[in-house]
Amino acid sequence: MGEIVIFGGDSHPELVKMICDNLAIHSSKVQMGKFSNGETSVSVRESVREKDVYVIQSGCGHVNDTFMELLILISACKTASASRVTAVMPYFCYSRQPDIPYTNKGAPLISRTSEERSDEFNKSLSTGLTTRKPGAESPFEGPESSIRSDGGRSEDSKPSSSSSNSTSNSDGIKKSVSFSRIPVIADGKDAGSTKADAGELFNAQNAGYKLWVAQAGTLIANLLTTAGADHVITMDLHDPQFQGFFDISVDNLYCKPLAQKHIQFGIPNYKEAVIVSPDAGGAKRATSIADALKLSFALIHKERRSQLLKGPPGATLSSGGTFSTNPKPLVSHLHSADMHPSNSASKYVQTTMLVGDVRNKVCIIVDDLVDTSYTITRAAKLLKDQGASKVYALITHGIFSGDALSRIRQSAIDKLIVSNTVPQHETVAYLGKDKVDVMDVSRIFAEAIRRVHNGESISMLFEHGW
Amino acid sequence: MASNSIKLLAPDVHRNLAELVAKRLGLRLTDADLKRDPTGEVSFSIGESVRDQDIYIIMQIGSGVVNDRVLELLIMINACKTASARRITAVIPNFPYARQDRKDKSRAPITAKLMADMLTTSGCDHVITMDLHASQIQGFFDIPVDNLYAEPSVVRYIKENVSWKEAAIISPDAGGAKRAATLADRLDLNFALIHKERARANEVSRMVLVGDVTDKICIIVDDMADTCGTLGKAAEVLLDHGAKSVIAIVTHGVLSGRAIENINNSKLDRVVCTNTVPFEEKMKSCSKLDVVDVSSVLAESIRRLHNGESISYLFKHYPL
């Protein structure tokens, strides 16, 4: 195998630089650009003949552009007689395989979020509050008409509005509480295109006909192979099964060792902490961290029951809330606004349950991928409601699309720990340095590249990190 | 084919051409729901079953967001493939990355080949395109490619809209000489060639006219107009050599960058493009633009392909 050559794509130059620094080599010259008609141009400025080429490109920024850049670069190296081309994708784009369509607010995660609608965050969060402590936290208990007349405010209360409304956290939350206490308005305001589309799909699903959504995973894997990639290195694939879609070898690195170190050294009194998985899908990932650090574990479980409710709304409450009769395990319910009579099309009862004890504990929510941040902010809210003293969120891939960051700023999350597989400048700038910790994955990737190049085993990286 | 049903699919943007084709074929465009998240990832769902059907995906790829369109196309093809479509034909009138068709520098990517491989990988069974920048690109594919010609439509346009008896056909560069010469033969007109030395892409250096254009209406013919810098310069050269007026007819009016500005400032009387590339909005800001509709050619090729008839008739004749 010839000598090593590293090319960095446009998506994350900083990570490329750090990986190269760790390997004590320079990244080779490559020029990326666009022709005036929007086609991507790539020119490789150094010889790659019979070399071992590594192309680093994270699936962030404008995904399709960065992905095409990667493919063209791989193909250029391959046609220029490189002996082996390895695609290094710290964050693997299109790795989510949602079964509901994306919305302009963000892409859903697999299965777990297939059960939720993006716009339901406000409702479930606040209806949860009001069902449990009716009006206690709402400053707008008074005549509903006073709020109803104020159309402008109810628009403001959407966390989606830009940075202007993020002046005060508590204000934003209170407003959203008041806002969704009147679901008649809430529906009117929120019934945008996203809801209409997603809702239709769900209803279709409910009626027994499932409208399916194309899942691009295999295609993306095949495209990489087609372009000429001989090997792929990535981290914390959303689906471990994704490895099976490839006909070439895939090394899936883990952020776990790094995360463990961050918990041990970055969280005071970590031995008292609880690892929380924000959904059932991530339970395995979270338990493995909890086991390794010998911490206790809690799980937030979301159920969406498609039961036909014939009685009045009051009856649905009791039928959906059968678990509340059991006082022993700490189980809390958040009934989504789907049940409200105004939303007659929906026949679901959504129950969010916390399994495990978090009272007066430090909670660490562990997730591999955060895009819209609905899941973790809702989880944080639930944990705080259950008496958690502090909530950390530990995330591998922080994509934070749309208004995810403002949502996190307003949420109950006290600190965000996120890796730099995706550039995090914006996150740090927006949330402030003391609210965000960035885990550096460049050492792991550098070591993986070194080991792959030298033909050594990389399994040690899985357990111990680097 | 056992199942004889056909479905036309088009993305949610730039549906004009697809709608014209569908109308011509008397078919309805199938509901195809493309959604994008803020980072650009695409998700796609088809509103109805495509099992065992003949699928045609009509994709217009204009300037700007080429990569988005390409990924959308691939995902649509792949979705139909996994949904057990019998045959999937990608109708891409303006083939993307067609100019990246050779290794012109060391280690330059042959992206057109990559595009061909990607289309095959995604599950495409057949490609219909029009006026490929280099017809050799057909050889990049392992699947059949039908390269249609805009020429019959262009001939029709010239005969109807230009006093063509006193015209001359001009090729703006040596590469397009063959295309222009065929058209000149077809119309029995004089032919001239502008030879240019290109310093860098999208930049023009020196131009030499070969042939006589005195008192002629010059029709510059090319397969693609990008920034239109070349066309503007060519028009000046032609007028300097005594041409009466100059119009340009191009197949793919990508018209990117400062194209509209260049056209407006140039001495071109008219720039005529086919509707393979969506440029409706640009027509509003530039009165010199005109359009040749090729939807009937595409529609007829789809009909013939679906019925297993020969397509070569369309290379010479405009379908009526």
Is residue A308 pLDDT above 50, yes or no?
no
Q: Which residue's entry shows tokens 């777990």?
A: A112
Nearest CA in chain B to A422: B39
Residue B313 covered by a domain:
no
Mutate to test the interface with A, among B12, B31, B35, B260 (most CBs of A within 10 A): B35
Those residues whose C-beta lies under 8 Å from the C-beta of residue B299, and which sit 6 or more positions away, are B20, B21, B24, B25, B319
Give the span between the Cα atoms of B34 and B69, in whole angstroms.
11
Q: Which residues of B touch A215 (CB under 8 A)?
A: 82
Note whether B10 and B141 are same-domain residues.
yes
Question: How high does pLDDT run on average in chain A?
Answer: 75
Is B43 in contact with A214 (Cβ distance < 8 A)? yes
Q: How many domains does chain B have?
A: 2
B 138-177: CB under 8 A from A: none
Residue B77 covered by a domain:
yes
Note whether B124 and B248 are same-domain residues.
no
Instruction: Give the A:B interface size as CB pairs under 8 Å.
Output: 173
How close A110 comes to chain B (CA, Å)?
13
Residues of chain B with pLDDT under 70: 1-3, 197-205
pLDDT at residue A4 in the model: 94
pLDDT at residue B205 in the model: 66
Is A219 in contact with B78 (Cβ distance < 8 A)? yes
Q: Give pLDDT tens digits for A213-252.
A: 777 888 999 999 999 999 999 999 888 888 889 999 999 9
Pick A47 or A319 by higher pLDDT. Answer: A47
C-alpha dist (Å) from residue A32 to A23, A78, A106: 23, 17, 27
Note whether B220 and B92 are same-domain residues.
no
Rounded to two decimals, the ipTM of the complex is: 0.89
Is residue A322 pLDDT above 60, yes or no?
no
Identify the burial level of B139 via C-beta atoms within 10 angstroms of its C-beta, where 0-12 means exposed, 13-18 middle and 19 or more buried. exposed
Which residue of A61, A67, A76 is in closest CB contact with B108?
Answer: A76
Note whether B177 and B128 are same-domain residues.
no
Mutate to test the interface with A, among B31, B39, B279 (most CBs of A within 10 A): B39
Pick A342 or B268 by higher pLDDT. Answer: B268
CATH class of the region A4-99+215-253: alpha beta
How close A312 comes to chain B (CA, Å)?
34
The enclosing domain of B269 has a CATH number of: 3.40.50.2020
Note whether B285 and B163 are same-domain residues.
yes
Quote the distance between the C-alpha of residue B9 and its chain's center: 19
Q: Are A103 and A143 in contact (CB under 8 A)?
A: no
Give the span between the Cα atoms of A40 and B111, in whole angstroms.
9
Q: Are B319 and B47 in contact (CB under 8 A)?
A: no
Note whether B245 and B279 are same-domain residues.
yes
- The amino acid that residue A126 corresponds to is S
Rg (CA), chain B: 20
Which residue of B33, B105, B121 is in closest CB contact with A223?
Answer: B121
Q: Are A424 and A438 in contact (CB under 8 A)?
A: yes
Note whether B20 and B42 are same-domain residues.
yes
pLDDT at residue B3 in the model: 59
Is A39 in contact with B66 (Cβ distance < 8 A)? yes
Is B45 in contact with A213 (Cβ distance < 8 A)? yes
* Domain-wise residue ranges, chain A: 4-99+215-253, 255-306+348-440
**Helix, strand, coil shares, percent, chain B, to 5:** 35, 25, 40
Is residue A205 pLDDT above 70, yes or no?
no
Residue B174 lies in domain: 151-197+206-292
pLDDT at residue A465 in the model: 72
Nearest CA in chain B to A69: B67
Q: Give pLDDT tens digits for A365-416.
A: 999 999 888 889 989 999 999 999 999 999 999 999 888 999 999 999 999 9
How close A342 comes to chain B (CA, Å)?
27
Q: Give pLDDT tens digits for B103-114.
A: 888 899 999 999
C-alpha dist (Å) from residue A10 to A19, A422, B253, B304: 15, 12, 29, 44
Note whether B104 and B10 are same-domain residues.
yes
Give the span between the Cα atoms of B53 and A221, in whole angstroms.
26
Residue B51 covered by a domain:
yes
Q: B100 CB near a chain A CB, below 8 Å?
A: yes
pLDDT at residue A106 in the model: 56
pLDDT at residue B14 in the model: 83
Note whether B123 and B188 are same-domain residues.
no
Residue B305 covered by a domain:
no
Q: B84 CB near a chain A CB, below 8 Å?
A: no
pLDDT at residue A391 in the model: 94
Per-residue burial over B1-31, b if 16 or more Cβ lie within 10 Å, else e, is eeeeebbbbbbeebbebbebbbebbebebbe
Q: Can you tell me the mean pLDDT for A165-193?
A: 38
Which residue of B79, B109, B121 is in closest CB contact with A42?
Answer: B109
Is residue A172 pLDDT above 60, yes or no?
no
Q: Which residue's entry shows tokens 């964050």?
A: A91
Mutate to test the interface with A, among B67, B101, B118 (most CBs of A within 10 A): B67
Which residue of B74, B96, B113 is in closest CB contact with A39?
Answer: B96
Nearest CA in chain B to A48: B107
Mutate to test the interface with B, among A11, A50, A64 (most CBs of B within 10 A): A64
pLDDT at residue A410 in the model: 92
How close B313 comes to chain A (CA, Å)?
32
pLDDT at residue A402 in the model: 85
pLDDT at residue A348 in the model: 59
Per-residue burial over A189-209, b if 16 or more Cβ lie within 10 Å, else e, is bbeeebbebbbebbeebeeee
Is A65 in contact with B41 (Cβ distance < 8 A)? no
C-alpha dist (Å) from residue B44 to A98, A102, A110, A351, B12: 10, 8, 15, 29, 11
In DSSP terms, A299 is beta-bridged to A277, A355
Give the span between the Cα atoms of A265 and B285, in whole angstroms.
61
Q: Which residues of B touch A216 (CB under 8 A)?
A: 42-43, 75, 78
| 3-class secondary structure, B181 | helix
Is A371 in contact with B64 (Cβ distance < 8 A)? no
Is B78 in contact with A218 (Cβ distance < 8 A)? yes
Note whether B97 and B173 are same-domain residues.
no
Q: Which helix (H) or strand (E) holds B246?
A: strand B245-253
Is B47 in contact with A211 (Cβ distance < 8 A)? yes
Q: HEC string of chain A? A: CCCEEEEECCCCHHHHHHHHHHHCCCCCCEEEEECCCCCEEEEECCCCCCCEEEEECCCCCCHHHHHHHHHHHHHHHHHCCCCEEEEEECCCCCCCCCCCCCECCECCCCHHHHHCCCCHHHHHHHHHHHHHCCCCCCCCCCCHHHHHCCHHHHHHCCCCCCHHHHHCHHHHHHHHHHHHCCHHHHHHHHCCHHHHHHHHHHHHHHCCCCCCCCCCHHHHHHHHHHHCCCEEEEECCCCHHHHHHCCCEEEEECCHHHHHHHHHHHCCCHHHCEEEECCHHHHHHHHHHHHHHCCEEEEEEEEEECCCCCCCHHHHHHHHCHHHHCCCCCCCCCCCHHHCCCCCCCCCEEEEEEECCCCCCEEEEEEEEECCCHHHHHHHHHHHHCCCCEEEEEEEEECCCCCHHHHHHHCCCCEEEEECCCCCHHHHHHHCHHHEEEECCHHHHHHHHHHHHHCCCCHHHHHHCC
pLDDT at residue B71 in the model: 93
Q: Are A254 and A434 in contact (CB under 8 A)?
A: no
Quote the distance between the C-alpha of residue A315 and its chain's center: 35
Q: B74 CB near a chain A CB, below 8 Å?
A: yes
Confidence of residue A159 (pLDDT cuts 50, 70, 90): very low
Q: B39 CB near a chain A CB, below 8 Å?
A: yes
What's the angle, vertex CA A34, arms to CA B72 and CA A23, rounded to 5? 95
Of all residues in chain A, the percent with pLDDT exceeding 90 is 48
Please state which CATH number belongs to domain A255-306+348-440. Answer: 3.40.50.2020
The per-residue DSSP string of B283-313 comes to: HHH-TTEEEE--HHHHHHHHHHHHHT---TH
Note whether B137 and B239 are same-domain residues.
no
Give the span between the Cα atoms of A334 and A309, in whole angstroms.
17
Is A214 in contact with B78 (Cβ distance < 8 A)? yes
Is B40 in contact with A62 (Cβ distance < 8 A)? yes
Note whether B179 and B110 are same-domain residues.
no
How close B71 comes to chain A (CA, Å)?
7
Nearest CA in chain B to A209: B48
